[in-house]
Chains A and B, each alone.
Chain A
Amino acid sequence: MAAEQTATGYIQHHLQNLAYGKLPAGYTRADGTVLSESTWTVAHSSQEAADMGFWAVHLDTLGWSIGLGMLFCFLFARAAKKATAGVPSGFQSFVELIVDFVDKVVKDTFPHRNSMVAPMALTIFTWVFLMNLMDLVPVDWLPLAFAHGTSAITGADPHHVYFKVVPTTDLNATLGMALAVFALMIFFSVREKGLMGFVKELTLHPFHSGKWYIDIFLIPFNFLLEAVSLIAKPVSLGLRLFGNLYAGEMIFILIAIVFGVGVIGFIGAGLLQMGWAIFHILVITLQAFVFMVLTTVYMAMAHDREEEHAHDQ
């Protein structure tokens, strides 16, 4: 934390992603210069990032999530390649422990035949866990290292270099995954029940009389209810993960501010940071698990046939 920064500025700096996007011609940049023509560039302020609109990417979010995802793929693929049916070695048994755990959870919640659901659950659990795990790295380490590293190379002002390390504290990342899950839900629904089956599920539930002339009037009402519950699934899925991790990150940032307040503040913040980090180990694992289980449950719902539905009720 630089001395001239205010606490608000510090927090805002920490909550801003490294955005890369297009700024229009005639735009006044953060340092007062005016762009003569539209430019693709890295945002130097939160305002600039906001003004880039939808067509911008968060380099830090994508970089960390892809990097961690590749780490996961690399480690697990290597373990899979080396795996023997004999006595498993250290890392293989660790990987098998996770795989076995995920497999059990999926078997318990997903009774249908689909070879993709279990690997998806494994990917979600491990990947989300790794992304969440970045939350345990002290909040200033990587951003400061990155800011000073880039300023040393490009000469940019380190205060204008934003860097968020935890991808799951970026709503784009969590909602992005939730949207992919949502797309798979719809895809499997249509594949399992046919387009008409899916439409029927949306329009003839939960109110159903069995007489078509009454059903017709129930359709709009049913559709409203079902559409809301359908859309609520990915939104809640994404927001839950984001909210938990964002809040956790926020508390780490607040604790980091206390470090600057004298000796007592330093010791207190140290203790707080440790306590919160230990508690957070639980949170990040739990959130990864919840995301995995909910995804599996949604997949199971997408595979549930109407008859089974009617049977349940």
Chain B
Amino acid sequence: MNINLTLIGQSITFLAFVWFCWKFVWPALLGVMQEREQKIATGLQEAERAGKDLELAQRKAAEQLKEAKAQAAEIIDGANKRANQIVDEAKEAARSEGDRLKAAAQAEIEQEVNRAKEQLRSRVATLSVAGAEKILSVNIDAKAHDDMIEKLAAEL
């Protein structure tokens, strides 16, 4: 076992390899590893946040659904009420229209009656004059007895 120049050679070789590893191997590998670590950490964080977001969204959706259902019920309720109202209004309008028509008809009937009465009255006047003429066999001056006839007619 001889100690010789190999000793120095080995020292230099050793330092050279250490230098190489220091400059070219270690930083690159460690950098990549740290980068990945970071990536995984953020990935996990994001996954957690996404889970929370999902839960939140689900809760929100459920809430909105409930709200929508309530609104729909309200709308249907309102519509029902309105329909009833419209029906009532229509009924009311029909009734009043009917009343009006009935009233108008009655008025016309009354008018007709009055007119008939009037006609009858005038005819009665004429007939009574004619009757009186016949009875008296005298031509009565129509004009002279007009007043009297009028009174007679009014008494009918």
Give the interface of A toward B (CB within 8 A). Answer: 15, 17, 19, 21, 49-50, 52-58, 61-62, 65-66, 69, 72-73, 76-77, 79-81, 83-86, 88, 95-96, 99-100, 103, 115-116, 118-120, 122-124, 127, 167, 170-173, 175-177, 179-180, 183
Contact = CB atoms under 8 A, between A and B. Distances in A.
A83 B32 contact: yes
Given A172-B6, A175-B7, A77 B14 contact: no
Q: Which of A56, A171, A175, A180 has the largest number of chain B CB atoms within 10 A?
A: A180
A165 to B, nearest CB: 15
A176 B17 contact: no
B20 A83 contact: no
B62 interface: no
A124 B18 CA distance: 8
A240 to B, nearest CB: 16
A115 B26 CA distance: 9
Nearest to B1: A171
A94 B56 CA distance: 42
B6 A76 contact: no
A148 to B, nearest CB: 25
Contacts of A88: 36
17 contacts: A54-B3, A54-B4, A61-B10, A76-B21, A81-B28, A83-B28, A83-B32, A84-B32, A99-B26, A115-B22, A116-B18, A127-B14, A176-B13, A176-B14, A177-B10, A179-B7, A183-B11
Interface in B117-151: none
B41 to A, nearest CB: 12
Given A77-B25, A172-B4, A176-B6, A85 B32 contact: yes
A56 B25 contact: no
- Rank and list the top 6 A-B pairs by shortest CB-CB distance, nearest first: A176-B10, A172-B6, A80-B28, A119-B26, A85-B35, A119-B22
B20 A176 contact: no
B3 A177 contact: no
Given A66-B13, A95-B29, A122-B26, A172 B21 contact: no
Interface of B: 1-15, 17-18, 20-22, 24-30, 32-33, 35-36, 39
B25 A176 contact: no
A179 B9 CA distance: 11
A99 B29 contact: yes
A84 B35 CA distance: 9
Contacts of B9: 57, 62, 172, 176
Contact of A85 (B2, B5, B27, B39): B39
A21 B6 CA distance: 11
A88 B5 CA distance: 42
A180 B35 CA distance: 33
Given A54-B5, A85-B32, A175-B3, A80 B10 contact: no
Contacts of B1: 15, 171
Nearest to A95: B29
A176 B7 contact: yes
A154 to B, nearest CB: 22
Nearest to A170: B6
A62 B7 CA distance: 9
Nearest to B22: A119
Given A115-B22, A119-B26, A72 B17 contact: yes
A119 B5 CA distance: 26
Given A69-B13, A103-B30, A57 B6 contact: yes
B3 A171 contact: yes
Contacts of B25: 73, 76-77, 80, 119, 122
Q: Which of B3, B14, B32, B33 has the largest number of chain A CB atoms within 10 A?
A: B14
B29 A96 contact: yes
